[in-house]
Amino acid sequence: MTVGAPGQARRIEGGPIAAEIRSAVAEDVATFTTTHGRAPGLAVVIIGRDAPSTVYLEQILRGCAKVGIEARFAEIDGEATEASVTTRIRELNEDDTVDGVIVQMPLPPTIRLRAVIDAIDPAKDIDGIHPLNAGLLRLGYDGFLPATAHAAVEILRRSGVEIEGRDAVVIGRSAVVGMPAAFLLVKEDATVTVCHSRTTDLPDKVRRADIVVVAAGKPGLITGAMLKPGAVVVDVGINLVDGKLVGDVDFESASQVASAITPVPGGVGPLTNALLLTHLIRAAERQAATATDTRAGVR
Ligand code: NAP
């Protein structure tokens, strides 16, 4: 699908794509478990049980259980020091039954993000936050991708949206969503403009784009009036407005102008969780292969 006809946009649902991915992961997990005599393992480091992201992390644990991945919380007291958090992460790095480590975000204000991401073994960094994985992405090599950015681009690929040669605008330049999504789109041969809170005349930039990826955390930031007719819109935003989950795009007006659009909820979100599982099984397979090579004395 190239940039399509404007009108009532096609809804790009993440659920069916996520289900396909999960069923492939379940097969890979079963093969891994038979071959290695243990299930692949994920540790989710949480610092303080009552943080808002705990609900999201519990969803990840349930998703893992469904495909046979052994996932558990590595709980740390909410008052913990930075040193005790990084020590716990290093213990998980050394644990052969743990193939992937993710850390609950945002961190408490007393703990530096940089100290935490540096502590994660890049081989277990399945959400691609370690500088090594960020660098691999920047250079166009294979590393672990931040799952949300991966989902924002994968949803386009799996929906048959042509990316090569298209003009894309990414709104948001965070290290975990906007920038990695922009690098991935460049890797797919789009021409990419990255916008942020200091961008002047955002509507003008958006109006030029065939593909618009919005990751700003601002409900209603993008409306139909700003879009090029027939554009494809990926809404990564998750905002709680009057008790309802909404994205960064005004879905009603955007649907009248775009040719395809991802809804919130039900678009990028389900794909993010499913892709994280694919990263985990890849981490498990790579580490198992490295361990075998080490035992065989291969350098
Ligand atoms: P973030 O770190 O707060 O970054 C937001 C980015 O948007 C920043 O680069 C900011 O610019 C830019 N921005 C803010 N207001 C803007 C405006 N008015 N115009 C243009 N750009 C603006 O957030 P994030 O972690 O990247 O997350 C972005 C959104 O994705 C959030 O809604 C988050 O909840 C959602 N999210 C979704 C998933 C999922 O699975 N779907 C996962 C993670 C996050 P500056 O750099 O200039 O400040």
Closest by CA position to 129, among listed 170, 179, 85, 94: 179
Position 22 pLDDT exceeds 80: yes
The beta strand positions in 81-214, using DSSP E, are 100-103, 167-171, 191-195, 211-214
Res 232: pLDDT: 98
Beta bridge partners of 46: 75
User: With bands split at pLDDT 50, 70 and 90, how would you rate the model's confidence at 181?
Assistant: very high
Spacing, Cα 118 to ligand 1 middle (Å)? 23
Contact 187, 140 (CB under 8 A): yes
| Nearby residues of 55 by Cβ (< 8 Å), 6 or more positions away | none
Residues 243-266: tens digit of each pLDDT:
999 999 999 999 999 999 999 999
- The pLDDT > 90 percentage for the chain reads 87
Res 3: pLDDT: 55
Backbone φ and ψ of 198, nearest 5°: -100, 5
Burial 143-180 (b: 16+ CB within 10 A, else e): bbbbbbbbbbbbbbebbebbbeebbbbbbbbbebbbbb
Closest by CA position to 133, among listed 103, 98, 172, 176: 176
Residues 192-214: tens digit of each pLDDT:
999 999 999 999 999 999 999 99
Q: Is 215 in the pocket of ligand 1 (CB under 6 A)?
A: yes
Element (H, E) at 234: strand 232-235
Question: Cα–chain-centroid distance for residue 259?
Answer: 24
Contact 213, 171 (CB under 8 A): yes
Spacing, Cα 177 to ligand 1 middle (Å)? 7
Question: Cα–chain-centroid distance for residue 14?
Answer: 13
Spacing, Cα 218 to ligand 1 middle (Å)? 7
Unique residue bearing structure tokens 């958090």 = 85
Res 7: pLDDT: 66
Contact 195, 202 (CB under 8 A): yes
Q: Is 198 in the pocket of ligand 1 (CB under 6 A)?
A: yes
Cis peptide bond prior to 106, omega within 30° of 0: yes
Spacing, Cα 236 to ligand 1 middle (Å)? 8
222-242 average pLDDT score: 97
Q: Is 206 in the pocket of ligand 1 (CB under 6 A)?
A: no
Residues 125-180: tens digit of each pLDDT:
999 999 999 999 999 999 999 999 999 999 999 999 999 999 999 999 999 999 99
Q: Model-level pTM? A: 0.95
User: With bands split at pLDDT 50, 70 and 90, how would you rate the model's confidence at 284?
Assistant: very high
User: With bands split at pLDDT 50, 70 and 90, how would you rate the model's confidence at 98?
Assistant: very high
Residues 42-72: tens digit of each pLDDT:
999 999 876 667 788 888 999 999 999 999 9
**Whole-angstrom distance, CA of residue 68 vs CA of residue 71:** 9
222-238 average pLDDT score: 98
**Whole-angstrom distance, CA of residue 128 vs CA of residue 57:** 17
Q: Is 262 in the pocket of ligand 1 (CB under 6 A)?
A: no
Res 49: pLDDT: 72
- Tell which atom from ligand 1 comes closest to the C-alpha of 268: 41
